[in-house]
Chains A and B, each alone.
Chain A
Amino acid sequence: MTSGPSTIDVRLPPLLLHMFPTAPSRLSLEASDVASMIDALDQRWPGMADCIRDSRPAIRRHINVFVDGQRAKLETPLRSGTDVFILTAISGG
C-alpha cells in the first residue's frame, strides 16, 4: 500500500514540546506510515518515540494521531502532503 517515504506535515502537542524543548510545534518529515514517522521523530529527539508509542507496540492510550482528519494507527500509510496531528487526549485527575 505504501511505496516509499512521503513528505508530511506534522504538528506536535504543546505538552510534548515541554518534554523536548528543542522540537518545533510543526515540521516536515519523510515517512511512509505512522510508525516510521514516529521513528523519524525519535531520530531527531531521542526518547520521543516512547512518549508516543508504547512497547506493545501501539500508539499510547492517551495519545491520538490524526492523519488527514482521521484517527490513525501505527500502520496507517502516509501520502505526500498529508497533515498529521499528534494530540494529547483528555486525561489526568
Chain B
Amino acid sequence: MTQRVLVLLGTKKGVFILESDVSRRDWDLRGPFCETWPIQHAVGDPRNGTIYAGGGSEWFGPAVWKSTDLGETWTHAREGLVNEAGAVPIKTVWSLAVRDETLYVGVEPAGLFRSDDQGATFTHVEGLQKHPSRPEWNPGGAGLILHSIVPARDDPEQLWIGISAAGVFHTADGGRTWEPRNRGTRADFMPEGQKYPEFGQCVHSLVMAANSGRLYQQNHCGMYRSDDGGRGWASIESGLPSSFGFPAAAHPHDANTLYLMPLNGDTKGRFMPEAKAAVWKTTDGGETWRDLRQGLPQTSAYFGVLRQAMATDTLARAGVYFGTTSGSVYASADEGDTWTCIAQDLPMISSVETLVVESGGAGE
C-alpha cells in the first residue's frame, strides 16, 4: 500500500500543505487555503484523512474549516461556536484535537467546544468557564488562549488542556468539572513565596508521550514531565540552553523521546540561542539532552518557533518537522539527525501537524 505524508501548516495567511512519499525527500507545496484566513491550527483525522483548520478572521470572526479531499476543497462552519450574549465574543479558534468521533476546539478567550458531527456544529463545554478560578485567569502575550488539548487515549471522559496563562487543567467527567494540575511548575513572574501557585502558570504547550499516559510540558518557566497525569511535574530543563521555548513534540513510538526548541530567553528577542538553530532531543525522558543541528542554519537564525509549530509523523522511523516565524519549514526523516529546509518564504507559521494517508485518501 502506498502511503503519502502530509505536513499541514497553519499560517498567518491560510493553510498550506506539503506532501511527499514515505521517503520524505521531495515535497510539493499546495495552498494557501481557507481564503487566506489567519489559521492557528490545522490537524488531520488519521482515521479518514479529514483535515480541520481553526482560525479567525478580523472581519468575520472564528470558524473551523474542513476538507475531506486532502485540501482540494474546503467548507467552513461555526454554528454553536459562540459565547453567551453579553460575554466577550470569541476572537479566534486556537487549537483542535480529534479523538474518535469528537473534534475538540479551543478558543480565545479561553474556552472549550466540542463537535460530535465532524465539525458541522459545536457545543460549548461550559464546565470550564464555571471553574472557580476563571475570574483570575490572566492572558499571556498571545492573549487568554486555550492552546493545548490532550485527550486521554483510553478514556473518552478524560482530557487535559493548557491555557496561557492559567495553566494545565484536567477533567475526568467529560468537561463538567475541572481540576488545576500545575504542582511543581514555576511561575517566575510571581512574587517570592508565590512562585508555585495552584493555577496561573504560563504553560506554552502540552503533549502526551507515546504508548503511555506520560505528559510533557514546555512552560514559559521551564520544561517538565509528569508520570501521574499532571498531578505532579518534575523539571527536565537541566542540560538545555534555556528554560524558555514554545513547542514540544513527542516521539510517535517511544515515550522517552521528546523534541524541544529552546529559545534564547523571554526578554532577549525570543529567537534561536546565539542565532544558531537547534532542536534538542532527549531519549531518556528528559534526563539528558542532545542538540541536533545538521542541516539547520548556524548563522543569523533570528527566528522563533511557535507553540504549535513542531510535530512528528507516525512512520516507523519518525519524521520531525518545525515551522518558523519567518516562514520556513524544516524536516528530518531520520528522527532529527539531519534536517532539510522543505519550504521557505511562507507567511508566519503558527502550526505544524502531520497526516499519513493511503493513496486513496484514508489516514493511517
Contact = CB atoms under 8 A, between A and B. Distances in A.
A89 B20 CA distance: 40
A91 B87 CA distance: 23
Interface in B49-76: 58-61, 76
B246 to A, nearest CB: 20
Given A60-B59, A91-B59, A55 B78 contact: no
Interface stretch (A13-21, A32-40, A76-84): A13-21
Contacts of B89: 54-56
A62 B59 CA distance: 5
A46 interface: yes
Interface string B19-47: 00000000000000001000000000000
A92 B58 contact: yes
B84 interface: yes
Given A18-B35, A19-B76, A56-B86, A51 B60 contact: yes
A75 interface: no
B90 interface: yes
Interface residues of B, number: 19
Contacts of B76: 19, 47
Contact of A50 (B58, B61, B84, B85): B61
Nearest to A13: B59
B235 to A, nearest CB: 37
Nearest to A56: B89
Contact of B60 (A19, A55, A93): A19
Contacts of A52: 60
A29 to B, nearest CB: 20
B348 to A, nearest CB: 10
Interface in B204-245: none
A89 B59 CA distance: 7
Given A18-B35, A55-B85, A50 B59 contact: no
Contacts of B78: 47, 50
B84 A55 contact: yes
Interface string A41-63: 00000110011101111001111
Given A15-B59, A57-B85, A60-B60, A47 B79 contact: yes
B152 to A, nearest CB: 31
A91 B56 CA distance: 13
B77 to A, nearest CB: 7
A81 B79 CA distance: 32
From B59, B77, B79, B85, residue with most partner A Cβ within 10 Å: B59
A51 B57 CA distance: 9
Interface of B: 12, 35, 58-61, 76-79, 81-87, 89-90
Interface of A: 15-16, 18-19, 46-47, 50-52, 54-57, 60-63, 88-89, 91-93
Given A15-B60, A50-B78, A91-B59, 15 more contacts: A15-B59, A16-B60, A19-B35, A19-B76, A47-B79, A50-B82, A55-B85, A55-B87, A55-B90, A56-B85, A56-B89, A57-B85, A62-B59, A88-B59, A89-B59
24 contacts: A15-B35, A15-B60, A18-B35, A19-B35, A19-B60, A47-B77, A47-B78, A50-B60, A50-B61, A51-B61, A54-B61, A54-B89, A55-B83, A55-B84, A55-B85, A56-B85, A56-B86, A56-B87, A56-B89, A60-B59, A62-B58, A62-B59, A89-B59, A91-B58
Question: Which are the 3 A-B pairs with shortest beta-carbon distances?
Answer: A54-B89, A51-B60, A91-B58
